[in-house]
Chain A
């Protein structure tokens, strides 16, 4: 009886996941999709509990209770500005869970065929890399670890060596079963190290790519574990998540006009070769205003475009920006937001942030929609964005960001750039925009500056 019932419930759960993901990718049905997918998960858990191999229900329920409570508290407490860290953390937990299940299967004991050991190796590898990689991403995003790329000489060769070591250990374990246990531990250790070294050299501006890639890995880890315990539910759901992560990774890479290999291995901003051939003329100077000097310009504007970046998230200025928008709209000014696909530290970061401040969705514009409008824009307000508005991407073939689609803010009448200091962004590239004739810098904390603007305009 259970041989039939359980697989059928698993099938239903897979169908719910597929429907849920489809609904999640359309605005009107997204919320429903989330519920659909969670029903799928509930079904999978119930089906598993029906399995008559299970003898100890108490430990299971205790663990489920602990995990659910922690998850619920994290989900309720998290600030929207900390979303990227939380997603990284959850990715890591998913990877760690897959790693542990594969390890548990290894210690189940008894003989298993060579190819099962190889599959366990693969599962451990993906799970470990997801876990330790996500953990490093979390540390970087939380600001515990330096966000800029951390590299050493011969890093790629060293990583290659680690991969070879994993392959060697797994083959050695197969050929000499007496060494299987020690080889297994080596594989776990080396895989964890590989995950750390894989994320360390990646800079903050490339985080959206890494986060979506790790998201994909967390699915693939579950999928590989599915092969280990021979469970179709894991294989199907895991590969769905893997596919969705790859789609997001691709969107992010296109947003930067870079290949995934370039993001992973180039470590943009780590070397100082870029600063040697800066194209900025030292004779050129920047203009800097105090917030109160700008009031007249705002009051005479017909259209204002606001370009949010990571700096807005750091300063938590989203609510103040909404105040500014309402004030300007009260004076008859049209206010639009220009959202670059890779603005922030994860896919869709700015959308989440602005939604938290109740900024209406229809005032948000994508790159393609807003770029033709800059020429008719009187004032563009760049808040904490840097590389995504650097005109060098259009013409300077020496620039590391050459070819990246950017927001053409320099084409508007006046550009105000809100920035803490003249330090270059995460990519470590000087920004031409700051030296343009129509650009005016306003230095200071973004939230302070915007609130000063608001009180001056009142």
Chain B
């Protein structure tokens, strides 16, 4: 176990608390947009996917990474766009 891991665990715990504090009393209208918007954020895996694809060209890892980029981008672009579409609908 390294000090690095310990720091990462610190970050995890603090981020969970921030998450609970930041998202408070969500009105029912926003339940779906919050879900699809936060789902788009979970597409952050794209970072790992890009690294896997770009740093090991020609390996099986790069191929897996490429598929991961496609899936993560569907999640990111689709998620943010559909959330925006819903929220603009509410605005009217």
Tell whether A and B belong to one assembly: yes
Question: Which residues of chain B from 27 to 46 have a CB within 8 Å of any chain A CB?
Answer: 27-46
Q: Please give the distance in Å from A119's CB to the nearest CB on chain B.
A: 9
- Asked whether B72 lies within 8 Å of A67 as measured between CB atoms, the reply is yes
Across-interface contacts of A40 in B (CB, < 8 A): 41
Interface centre among B4, B78, B81, B90 (most CB of A within 10 A): B78
- Asked whether A346 lies within 8 Å of B43 as measured between CB atoms, the reply is no
- Asked whether A101 lies within 8 Å of B65 as measured between CB atoms, the reply is yes
Q: Is A244 an interface residue (CB 8 A)?
A: yes
Q: Which label, helix, strand, loop or mixed, suits the secondary structure of the B interface?
A: helix
Question: Which residues of chain B from 52 to 75 have a CB within 8 Å of any chain A CB?
Answer: 52-57, 59-62, 64-75
Across-interface contacts of A63 in B (CB, < 8 A): 49, 53, 66-67, 69-70, 73
Question: Which residues of chain A from 235 to 269 have a CB within 8 Å of any chain B CB?
Answer: 235-248, 251
A31 to B70, CA, bound (A): 26
Q: Which residue of A lies closest to B27 (CB)?
A: A27
A62 to B67, CA, bound (A): 11
Interface centre among B42, B65, B84 (most CB of A within 10 A): B42
Across-interface contacts of B19 in A (CB, < 8 A): 21, 239-244, 247
Q: Is A370 an interface residue (CB 8 A)?
A: no
Across-interface contacts of B59 in A (CB, < 8 A): 107-108
Q: Which residue of A lies closest to B77 (CB)?
A: A71
A229 to B56, CA, bound (A): 14
- Asked whether B39 lies within 8 Å of A218 as measured between CB atoms, the reply is yes
A264 to B80, CA, bound (A): 29
- Asked whether B89 lies within 8 Å of A222 as measured between CB atoms, the reply is no
Task: Mark each residue of chain A from 286 to 316: 1 if its CB lies under 8 Å from any CB of chain B, else 0.
Answer: 0000000000000000000000000000000
A246 to B89, CA, bound (A): 26
Across-interface contacts of A54 in B (CB, < 8 A): 50-51, 54-55
Q: Please give the distance in Å from A245's CB to the nearest CB on chain B.
A: 7
Q: Which label, helix, strand, loop or mixed, suits the secondary structure of the A interface?
A: helix
Q: Please give the distance in Å from A185's CB to the nearest CB on chain B.
A: 13
Question: Which residues of chain A from 81 to 122 have a CB within 8 Å of any chain B CB?
Answer: 83, 86-87, 90-91, 93-94, 96-98, 100-101, 103-105, 107-108, 115
Q: Is A438 an interface residue (CB 8 A)?
A: no
Question: Which residues of chain A from 1 to 46 have a CB within 8 Å of any chain B CB?
Answer: 17-18, 20-22, 24-27, 30-31, 33-35, 37-38, 40-41, 44-45
- Asked whether A56 lies within 8 Å of B80 as measured between CB atoms, the reply is no
Contact A226 B8, CB 8 Å, known A63-B69, A105-B61: yes
Across-interface contacts of B74 in A (CB, < 8 A): 67-68, 70-71, 74, 90, 93
Q: Which residue of B lies closest to A346 (CB)?
A: B32
Contact A60 B53, CB 8 Å, known A107-B61, A239-B15: yes
- Asked whether A100 lies within 8 Å of B36 as measured between CB atoms, the reply is no
Sample of 16 more A-B contacts, CB < 8 Å, known A34-B37, A71-B76: A25-B30, A30-B90, A45-B46, A54-B50, A54-B55, A97-B71, A100-B68, A104-B56, A226-B48, A234-B45, A237-B42, A240-B41, A247-B26, A248-B31, A351-B28, A352-B89
**Residues of A with Cβ closer than 8 Å to B?**
17-18, 20-22, 24-27, 30-31, 33-35, 37-38, 40-41, 44-45, 47-49, 51, 53-57, 59-60, 62-64, 66-68, 70-72, 74-76, 78, 80, 83, 86-87, 90-91, 93-94, 96-98, 100-101, 103-105, 107-108, 115, 211-212, 215, 218-219, 221-223, 225-248, 251, 339, 341, 346-349, 351-352, 355-356, 358, 361, 364, 366
**Residues of B with Cβ closer than 8 Å to A?**
1, 4-5, 8, 11-12, 15-16, 18-20, 22-57, 59-62, 64-92
A-B contact pairs, 5 of them (CB 8 A): A51-B55, A54-B51, A59-B62, A97-B75, A346-B31
